[in-house]
Structure 1
């Protein structure tokens, strides 16, 4: 069990709230109005906090309070800590019997694949509340109040336990009109058209051309941070995007997207459920892990 810091380094919430409000507003008067306190009460709380810490947090000027360098850094940390406490309290109030699972998701995977399936999980686990947040890359679970994350990449995440969910196949996709206008027939033909890139997979097109035996000097094109926007751009005729087939089934079925050339590629990386090792047996997480494994198996 991790021990808490000494009491002198754990100021009361009232002191921290007075400090954060004043730091944000730059005015004791505005902070007092926000906290429904008197100006003198807020000033006393800030003085008390400074005395407890042994650090001056504000430079007092005639009508304003200006943060010192130390105070500015402390304000950022305190604001985040208060936000996390507030979120924890809100989660507890929403589900007083526990069972809250906070899951970090990849944007398109979360909206296209996970979200439509979640009602099934929640129906089978009525005591569990799920909160979803977006994360595009691995993070430190110790610094974030997140129970688990959907991870795409190598089977490596320091301090986390990884459960393999599924593999992935990608397809060069575009609009039917784009394919016809550019007379796309072979893999090499794609060197002559605009290519759409995902920032989290900067080498995807190079890998695809290599797998298909197409020599190239360099590959350029528009950049997107999410598959959903890249897919929309491809639909609009801006170019060819290399997209996971399981995320664009609806577009392919409607004909909004077509294969630029029939050359799918299996990604070398995989989708995983990542969680802190010490959190692996948390009941809502264990239930979610079993469920998502079954859902992922249905994709095979």
Structure 2
């Protein structure tokens, strides 16, 4: 049994979160489509139930206490989990849903073109995607699994290796006409496009070509998709994972430079919380993606 005192109603928590966000019962009432007096009463009964002051009343404003700010962060996470779980149930009332977080460009370039095959062979599973770059806590976000880049060190998770990253330096044909490249040293004077999550990637590429590079200026980006477009527009040389560069190279919009397929700075992994290890849709997805990699 959960003590009733520690289980406020959803109405109380929604009112509290809205007031915490807006610092005003009037604004919170407008957001929730309630009366101001109703919101005030809900917050007051929450304070009475918890035996804790959450807001200090100063004229027409409510100033949250330190306890309220800390409590509010946890309540927001909890409400998000409830909303995500309800959405998943609405999409697939029979159950069998898999919520997957993935890197943006990996999701669009590698996973999306293949995932139709998974859905065809597993018609009872609803697959929900969201993109994430920074790492998150499985306990605070309602994901069953995540695809990420790096090392197998996601806290409290099990890991399945997908593949090592191989990278190729690429530039547009027009850029290479202006700047012929015959050896690694020729890149010293050129703009090298940088990815903020791969800050040592160029160092490793140059080392693989037996050259100690002098740092050149170049645009910094947070996604490979932006880097690809910048390279196509002739803004510099991009260091791209092979699976991302393949389409543009085949279409002639980018040209590989020197040796293709140099080892990158890590690998792509599928990770999931230990508690989800035997979750049916996740087991099916793990088996399917392992077959895609092997193929």
User: What is the CA–CA distance in structure 2 between the aligned matches of 1:143 and 1:30, rounded to whole Å?
Assistant: 27
Q: Does 1:267 align with 2:264?
A: yes
Tell me which residue corresponds to 2:69: 72
Tell me which residue corresponds to 2:179: 182
Secondary structure at the residue paired with 1:116?
A: helix
User: What is the CA–CA distance in structure 1 between the aligned matches of 2:31 and 2:205, rounded to whole Å?
Assistant: 57
TM-score by length of 1: 0.91
2:96 pairs with one of 96, 99, 114: 99
Tell me which residue corresponds to 2:273: 276
Q: Which moved more, 1:213-222 or 1:275-284?
A: 213-222
Q: Does 1:113 align with 2:110?
A: yes
1:291 pairs with one of 284, 288, 292: 288
Q: Alpha-carbon deviations, 1:25-56, whole Å to 9, x = none? A: 33323433444444333222211111122221
User: What is the CA–CA distance in structure 2 between the aligned matches of 1:276 and 1:15, rounded to whole Å?
Assistant: 31
Tell me which residue corresponds to 2:41: 44
1:23 pairs with one of 20, 27, 37: 20
Tell me which residue corresponds to 2:194: 197
User: What is the CA–CA distance in structure 2 between the aligned matches of 1:129 and 1:256, rounded to whole Å?
Assistant: 36
User: What is the CA–CA distance in structure 2 between the aligned matches of 1:89 and 1:48, rounded to whole Å?
Assistant: 26
1:166–1:297 contact (8 Å) kept in structure 2: no
1:234–1:209 CA distance, 2 compared to 1 (3 A): same
1:174–1:259 contact (8 Å) kept in structure 2: yes
1:263–1:123 CA distance, 2 compared to 1 (3 A): closer
1:175–1:257 contact (8 Å) kept in structure 2: yes
How far is the alpha carbon of 1:19 from its aligned partner? 1.4
1:155–1:162 contact (8 Å) kept in structure 2: yes
User: What is the CA–CA distance in structure 1 between the aligned matches of 2:33 and 2:200, rounded to whole Å?
Assistant: 55
TM-score by length of 2: 0.92
1:268–1:39 CA distance, 2 compared to 1 (3 A): closer
1:179–1:260 contact (8 Å) kept in structure 2: no
User: What is the CA–CA distance in structure 2 between the aligned matches of 1:165 and 1:297, rounded to whole Å?
Assistant: 9
Tell me which residue corresponds to 1:161: 158
Task: Give 4+ residue runs of structure 1 displaced > 4 Å after superposition.
Answer: none
User: What is the CA–CA distance in structure 1 between the aligned matches of 2:212 and 2:187, rounded to whole Å?
Assistant: 12
Map 1:179-258 to 2 at 5 A: 179-258=176-255
Q: Alpha-carbon deviations, 1:169-188, whole Å to 9, x = none? A: 21000001111211111111
1:240–1:260 contact (8 Å) kept in structure 2: no
Kindly tell me the number of residue pairs found equivalent between the two proteins.
295
User: What is the CA–CA distance in structure 2 between the aligned matches of 1:285 and 1:102, rounded to whole Å?
Assistant: 9
User: What is the CA–CA distance in structure 2 between the aligned matches of 1:139 and 1:102, rounded to whole Å?
Assistant: 14
1:219–1:36 CA distance, 2 compared to 1 (3 A): closer
Unpaired runs of 5+ in structure 2? none
Q: Alpha-carbon deviations, 1:245-275, whole Å to 9, x = none? A: 1112110111000013234302252211111
User: What is the CA–CA distance in structure 2 between the aligned matches of 1:184 and 1:15, rounded to whole Å?
Assistant: 65
